[in-house]
């Protein structure tokens, strides 16, 4: 089986407004450029944000998350740079923790579990 390799970045015009490709159903978009801009746009238009990431340290993204009306629940891998016993940059670590503390936890929202289950399963 000879698979052809394609550079997906070349399939998207750098002049295209979204710089991404949407699925035929329109419910999935893959972005190739300006990831921060697109992520912040999606955060700013969301009522809640739920997810899992390795780390969140970008100030603009954390500021956008702090403005989500119904709250944020993100599972973040605890990195060594956040451990107090390793002597990492204390000022930066304190600033990052302060930004995390500005995030709203999820508010009680009737039917939230059903909404999330539907979103995850794609129903």
pTM for the structure as a whole:
0.63
What number is the average pLDDT over the span 53-65? 89
What number is the average pLDDT over the span 90-116? 72
Please say if the pLDDT value at position 40 is more than 70. yes
Beta carbons within 8 Å of 81's beta carbon, 6+ residues apart: 88, 89, 93
Q: What is the spatial distance between Cα 83 and Cα 81, in angstroms, rounded to a whole number?
A: 6
Contact 104, 68 (CB under 8 A): yes
Report pLDDT digits (tens) over 18-35.
Answer: 667 777 777 778 887 788
Report pLDDT digits (tens) over 107-122.
Answer: 655 566 666 666 665 5
Q: What is the spatial distance between Cα 97 and Cα 90, in angstroms, rounded to a whole number?
A: 10
Confidence of residue 105 (pLDDT cuts 50, 70, 90): confident
Contact 42, 20 (CB under 8 A): no
Domain boundaries, the chain: 16-115
């Amino acid at each position: 089986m000879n698979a052809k390799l394609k550079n997906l970045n070349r399939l998207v015009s750098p002049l295209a407004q979204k710089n991404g490709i949407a699925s035929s159903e329109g419910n999935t978009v893959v972005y190739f450029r300006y990831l921060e801009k697109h992520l912040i746009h999606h955060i700013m238009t969301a009522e809640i944000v739920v997810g899992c990431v390795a780390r969140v340290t970008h100030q603009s993204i954390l500021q956008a998350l702090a403005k989500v009306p119904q709250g944020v629940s993100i599972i973040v891998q605890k990195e060594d740079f956040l451990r107090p016993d390793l002597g990492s940059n204390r000022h930066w670590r304190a600033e990052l923790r302060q930004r995390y503390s500005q995030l709203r936890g999820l508010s009680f929202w009737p039917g939230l579990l059903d909404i999330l289950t539907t979103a995850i399963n794609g129903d």
